[in-house]
Structure 1
């Protein structure tokens, strides 16, 4: 390895921060133990209906199979915690919709990818043209394991990466390159969870079934985003007003007490969605939904699942004539899944004595 490459890793963090990343590191590529844990998780069925997790399991463990010639992986952190309505206050107001704070602004895939490409070009300027490929939650990459290997934090009991000074409110991205770079020391970042189990206790549905293990089938993020079809009835009352994702495990984590709001305008809340009224969102027709969610992570849903999630939240909302009347407007919706969840919500309000 020549001197230029040997000193390159020292410059990476500076370049990354110029692009808005909080940090960057070079990961070692030994992921065998992580693959074994993933395979056990899949065997237990904790992936639910996410069949793609099983299809690409082996691919995740070898970065060279994702990008031929890969010798190093640069992992980056991008903070997203927005300057938004207080999360706990919104969660406590069952007339409002709670949307996971990562999803209130611009689609992070686009932001990460654009900045990683610029980082790849910066490397070219410093060393030489190189073969590289960027990933932003867009391919079968064990990104949390790579971030840990790059010294960016440890994987917490809620299964997310935690950084001692900034918590866990950040996105991860990767740049696979055929440059041979010295890896950072992952051992320099010890597990800081210790005996704490705050995230496990706070999970509304008990989805964190063991330290470092999440059963996606019970996870509200999975149920509201990844899951298609009917949401199990036993879990619906536990979802409260969460219509897209869930942040409870992170809100409970003591390490997030030090997290500061991101100043990145890409992640600023749009359309008042950080504290929107459920009834207002329920009134959106499909054209409005498409317009107002354009360029946002909310587009992971289709309009039918958007209504399904809102129907559950309305079923958990304080009983009122207004809520019942609004639900009845979609009682005969063309989508059978929407109809089912509206019927459930109406039955909840009828049982609560709403006229």
Structure 2
């Protein structure tokens, strides 16, 4: 077996569902589109994408002598688990977050591949989207799938619920695979289903509108015009991937990852009345740490404002007293959605201006 074959076999043995080899050159048209996307400000508050842009275009800065990338696809297509009993379990979570953090789950696999590569005399370095590597581009170049109209990598066998990891190597590619045929055709289900219209032309996403960005990366209040469109999305959003016909055809395929019902259906009350440190202990090793406690509490109140789930009422009252002003502001908005303006009194004189303004505006609408 060649070094390539050894590494492919090990990746599949350790749990990857599909693997392929990609050249590491970035086509000029892909670089130009990325530049235009950044220039238009569609990366929203993710300033690190702009800082890392030169590095993303130059994989050699990550691994000297790099010549190829082994791309791993791991399915997170789960059947929904049953919600646990008890708690305030309202709202949806994107499927990839139904398990402990995939970065931590895939890192041992990449470590094993790096070790095997070293044994074979191959220099290698692995990434699970925490480094400046263009995983989706490499995935498409590795013939794993194509870039769908949602901007996600789509596979005829696995749909759009694929977590990608990349192993950069100095193995030369003698046979470069052709581009995967585009199988989207005239279908626009993902575009039509996006709750906020975030999917634009040229298969790009405007992060300023995307619920995944707003509920995870965005700091501060959810923009007012988008709150009702957030619906019951508590963390992330994967509507565009779920409605894809290829995803639906593939069905639940995940085998390496296993969903945790407590993450798929989290108890919203766990985001209130605890310190940041307590929250971090409760959700250690999960994607919920990304927005932090106040982000999850903000999201929970927005979901409760939209759903008016009666079991969530005590959390609206807790939200009024929260130490984070972003949470108090979300509580004011949610109370307005419930038609409970008479409970706004503590927030009308809040020390933070944005909380006062939101409370006053809602009180005036009563």
Fold match by TM threshold 0.5: yes
Structure-to-structure mapping, 1:57-136, within 5 angstroms: 57-85=53-81, 96-125=90-119, 128-136=120-128
Partner in structure 2 of residue 305 of structure 1: 295
Deviations, residues 230-285 of structure 1 (Å, cap 9, x unaligned):
21001000101111100100111000011323132xx323353323454x445563
TM-score by length of structure 2 reads 0.85
Q: What root-mean-square deviation, in Å, do the aligned CA atoms of Structure 1 and Structure 2 show?
A: 2.5
| In 2: Cα distance, 1:183 partner to 1:306 partner | 47
* 1:164-201 alpha-carbon deviations (Å, 9 max, x no partner): 111011111111122223354132x2111111100000
Distance in structure 2 (CA, Å) of the matches to 1:117 and 1:306: 32
Partner of 2:153: 161
Q: Deviations over 1:183-223 (max 9, x none)?
A: 54132x21111111000000001100224111010000000
Distance (whole Å) between structure 1 residues aligned to residue 326 and residue 340 of structure 2? 21
State the SS of the aligned residue for 1:75: strand
Q: Does the 8 Å CA contact 1:98/1:275 hold for their aligned counterparts?
A: yes
Among candidates 287, 293, 302, match of residue 283 of structure 2 = 293
Shift of 1:43: 1.2
Q: What TM-score do you get using the length of structure 1 for normalisation?
A: 0.87
Partner of 1:193: 184
- Equivalent position of 2:23 in the other structure: 28
What is the SS of the residue equivalent to 1:316?
A: helix
Stretches of structure 2 lacking an aligned partner (at least 5 in a row): 344-366
Instruction: Report the equivalent of 1:91.
Output: none
Question: For the structure 1 residues 239 and 352, does the alpha-carbon distance in structure 2 shift closer, same or farther, using more than 3 Å as the test?
Answer: farther
* Structure 2 equivalent of residue 45 of structure 1: 41
1:114-171: CA deviation from partner (whole Å, max 9, x where unpaired): 101212222344xx33322111111111110011111111111111111111101111
How big is the shift at 1:8?
A: 3.9
Change (3 A) 1:353 1:239: farther
Partner residue, 1:272:
262
1:108–1:284 CA distance, 2 compared to 1 (3 A):
farther
Post-superposition Cα deviations, 1:284-328, rounded to whole Å, max 9, x if no partner, equal 6346533331111111121111111111111112364x5344302
Change (3 A) 1:45 1:136: same
Q: Which runs of 5+ in 1 are unaligned?
A: 88-93
The 2-side partners of 1:73 and 1:100 are apart by 28
Matched residue SS, 1:58: helix
Q: Is the 8 A contact 1:13 1:23 kept in 2?
A: no
Give the secondary-structure state (helix, strand or coil) at the position aligned to 2:208: helix
Show the counterpart of 1:90: none
Partner-residue secondary structure (3-state), 2:302: helix
Q: Do the aligned partners of residues 182 and 352 (structure 1) sit closer, same or farther apart at CA in structure 2, a change above 3 Å counting?
A: farther
What are the equivalent positions in structure 2 for 1:151-230 lying under 5 Å apart?
151-187=143-179, 189-230=180-221
For residue 330 of structure 1, report the CA deviation from its aligned partner.
2.1
Contact 1:82 1:262 in 2 (8 A): yes
| Offset, 1:98 | 0.8
- 1:261 corresponds to 2:261: no
Contact 2:82/2:261 (8 A) holds in 1 = no
